[in-house]
């Protein structure tokens, strides 16, 4: 029997994207952290556990030696709601199979990959369960499988789900693994689990496969935040749940007291955190229990950091699609939920809470505390051409009523075994692919762009933008958080650095900005011409007439929103 103390273990993170769980950098999911904690709990010395991301393996062939030489190789990954990614590229099935071929020791994989894989990670596709040539595929919790596998001397395990006590132990014990992530400590956000499972049974969703909601006590979540904070983590997202408002209750109705203990506890153990965001909030919860929901949303907005997004799973505004796919919220109900979140949490730091949603010339210059986002899925049963019109009318109604959405997520369905969509597959999505492309572009132009101008008007300050890549003479970066805005800045600045920026212009899902505050006495021509009201001629005059004692020396409206005449630190 293999002694756990003699094992060398390599964990490979292929990244995950699920309806209620995200792990593509700069995110790190719970899977590798809990698996590492389970290994330690089973007796494997911490110093004999190595963690790598799939991108590290792509970039350095020498890292593959850790896969080859490990006594146990653990792979975690899987995409059930794939999208477009900037910070990392999820592992493709062929890459995962190569990991299994390379490993000389025992190999096990788990995570959402257990639901199935297709030929590639993309929408409008069908999937099938496949062990991808691994020795073991964990069909329940990979961390429980890893613990039992080590405990058995690498002989085997029975698929099972871990309990709350195990999760609490493993979450704390595995916190150390974040220090091996290439983004640690400054550009890493930890996905936090508050619950999993869902009381509803939408046709396409894999989350109900985890069963009915199972909530972690606030003390368990707070203890994990404490452990991660001790390891240098300052960015957290409560993303691993189907509905944050239902946390700590009966699975459907809001429980404001539980939210108060959760959020207050996190702030107590991590007072210097820099990001505290969430992901999923069910709009049906908001409209069925409006007063409790308002209180819960108010608590969240008091404790979170600006720019937070509550993803609403409308999925389709077409009543026929709703009934055919067991969707739980109508377009009218979702609209009412959007309105409530705007009224309670659509205020900006420094702005008036009582007049939310705050926007316009007099609004404070930060992103709102919490706004809804809308998820729309295409290719569902019953979809017709009219479905696309229903969705566009819903989005236009939100805009016309003076409300704000932080983002609109439009994707095509993936069909997984075990869901009702398995019978339909991807045929509807494939038939409507061209229509889908045209509709998506129309939404970007008629909704996303004007909505973004409302949410982040010129002069809005985005602190701590992490610069990620260069393209077309610009530097692009993002804040850490839920669905952060992509920001383009003139010139090629040092990658990996962090700057505050002021928004100057808008795309569909991105903005252009300049470093804030921009020093008029040293700014480049390209930076100056990004400021609204300054063209090439005026920018040339600004450069020629330097130095300036005051921004008031330049006759450009609202220039004080962007510029100064001496270097300053920090955002307002």
Non-local CB neighbours of 551 within 8 Å, separated by 6+ positions: 520, 559, 560, 563, 564, 565
Nearest Cα to 267, choosing from 231, 297, 234? 234
Describe the crossing of helices 30-41 and 164-173 by its angle, rounded to 10 degrees.
90
- Bridge partners, residue 257, by sequence: none
- What domains does the chain contain, in order, with CATH numbers? 1-184 (3.40.50), 460-564 (2.40.50.140)
Q: How far apart are alpha carbons 136 and 333 in whole angstroms?
A: 45
Q: What is the torsional sign of CA 239, 418, 139, 114?
A: negative
Q: Please list the pLDDT of the chain residue by residue as tens digits (572 residues).
A: 789 999 999 999 999 988 778 999 999 999 999 999 999 999 999 999 999 999 999 999 999 999 999 999 999 998 877 677 888 999 998 999 999 999 999 999 999 888 765 555 554 445 555 677 899 999 999 999 999 999 999 999 999 999 999 999 999 999 999 999 999 999 999 999 999 888 776 777 777 667 777 899 999 999 999 999 999 999 999 988 989 999 998 888 999 999 999 999 999 999 999 999 999 999 999 999 999 999 999 999 999 999 999 999 999 999 999 998 889 999 999 999 999 999 999 999 999 999 999 998 889 999 999 999 999 999 889 989 999 999 999 999 999 999 999 999 998 877 777 776 777 777 888 889 899 999 999 999 999 999 999 999 999 999 999 999 999 999 999 999 999 999 999 999 999 999 999 999 999 989 999 999 999 999 999 999 999 989 899 999 889 999 998 988 888 888 889 988 874 444 43
Beta pairing partners, 51: 11
Question: Where do runs of H (alpha helix) occur along 142-217?
Answer: 142-151, 164-173
Summarize pLDDT for 557-567 with one digit per residue, the tens. 888 899 888 74
Contact yes or no for 419/203 (Cβ under 8 A): yes
- 3-class secondary-structure state, position 153: coil
Share of the chain above pLDDT 70, in %: 95
In 231-289, where does DSSP find H-type helix?
256-269, 283-288
Query: For residue 366, what is the DSSP state?
Result: S
Q: Is the dihedral of CA 542, 544, 547, 552 positive or negative?
A: negative
In which element (H, E) is residue 489 found? strand 486-490
Encode pLDDT of 361-418 as tens digits: 889 999 999 999 999 999 889 989 999 999 999 999 999 999 999 999 998 877 777 7
Interatomic CA distance for residues 10 and 41, integer angstroms: 16
Compute the distance between CA of residue 368 and CA of residue 110 in angstroms, rounded to an integer.
Answer: 37
Distance (Å, rounded) from C-alpha 152 to C-alpha 355? 61
Six-digit token string for 462: 């985005």
Please provide the distance, in angstroms rounded to a whole number, between the alpha carbons at the two ends of the chain.
61
């Amino acid at each position: 029997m293999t002694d756990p103390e003699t094992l060398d273990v390599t964990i490979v993170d292929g990244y995950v994207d699920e309806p209620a769980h995200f792990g593509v950098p700069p995110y790190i999911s719970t899977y590798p952290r809990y698996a590492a904690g389970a290994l330690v709990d089973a007796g494997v010395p911490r110093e004999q556990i190595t963690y790598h991301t799939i991108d590290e393996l792509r970039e350095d062939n020498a890292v593959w030696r850790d896969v080859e030489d490990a006594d146990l190789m653990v792979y975690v990954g899987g995409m059930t709601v794939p999208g477009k990614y900037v910070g990392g590229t999820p592992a493709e099935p062929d890459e995962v199979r190569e990991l299994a071929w390379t490993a000389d020791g025992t190999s096990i994989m788990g995570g959402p990959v257990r639901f199935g894989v297709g030929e590639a990670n993309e929408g409008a596709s069908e999937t099938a369960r496949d062990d991808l040539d691994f020795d073991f595929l964990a069909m329940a919790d990979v961390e429980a499988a890893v613990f039992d596998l080590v405990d058995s001397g690498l002989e085997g395990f029975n698929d099972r789900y871990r309990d709350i006590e195990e999760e609490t132990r493993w979450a704390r014990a595995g916190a150390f693994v974040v220090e091996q992530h290439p983004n640690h400590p400054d550009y890493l956000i930890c996905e936090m689990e508050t619950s999993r499972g869902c009381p509803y049974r939408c046709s396409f969703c894999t989350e109900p496969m985890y069963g009915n909601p199972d909530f972690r006590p606030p003390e368990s979540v707070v203890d994990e935040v404490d452990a991660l904070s001790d390891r240098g983590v300052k960015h957290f997202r409560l993303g691993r749940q189907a509905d944050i408002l239902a946390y700590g209750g009966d699975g459907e109705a809001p429980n404001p007291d539980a939210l108060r203990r959760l959020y207050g506890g996190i702030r107590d153990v991590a007072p210097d955190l820099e990001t505290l965001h969430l992901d999923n909030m069910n709009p049906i919860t908001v409209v069925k229990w409006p007063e409790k929901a308002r209180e819960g949303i108010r608590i969240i907005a008091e404790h979170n950091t600006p720019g937070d997004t509550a993803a609403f799973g409308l999925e389709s505004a077409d009543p026929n699609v709703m009934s055919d796919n067991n969707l739980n919220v109508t377009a009218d109900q979702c609209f009412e939920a959007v309105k409530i979140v705007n009224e309670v949490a659509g205020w900006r730091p420094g702005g008036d809470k009582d007049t939310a949603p705050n926007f316009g010339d007099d609004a404070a210059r930060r992103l709102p505390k919490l706004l809804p986002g809308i998820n729309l899925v295409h290719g569902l049963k019953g979809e017709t051409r009219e479905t696309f019109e229903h969705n566009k009318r819903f989005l236009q109604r939100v805009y016309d009523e003076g409300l704000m959405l932080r983002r609109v997520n439009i994707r095509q369905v993936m069909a997984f075994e075990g869901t009702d969509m398995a019978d339909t597959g991807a045929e509807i999505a494939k038939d409507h692919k061209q229509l889908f492309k045209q509709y998506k572009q129309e939404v970007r132009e008629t909704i996303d762009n004007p909505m973004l101008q409302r949410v982040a008007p010129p002069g809005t300050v985005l602190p701590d933008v992490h610069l990620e890549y260069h393209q077309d003479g610009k530097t692009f970066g993002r804040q850490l958080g839920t669905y952060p805005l992509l920001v383009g800045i003139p010139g090629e600045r040092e990658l990996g650095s962090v700057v505050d920026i002021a928004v100057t212009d808008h795309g569909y899902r991105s903005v252009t900005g300049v470093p804030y505050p921009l020093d008029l006495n040293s700014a480049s021509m390209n930076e100056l011409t990004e400021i609204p009201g300054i063209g090439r001629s005026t920018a040339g005059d600004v450069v020629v007439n330097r130095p300036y004692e005051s921004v008031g020396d330049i006759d450009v409206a609202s220039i004080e929103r962007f510029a100064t005449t001496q270097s300053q630190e920090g955002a307002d």
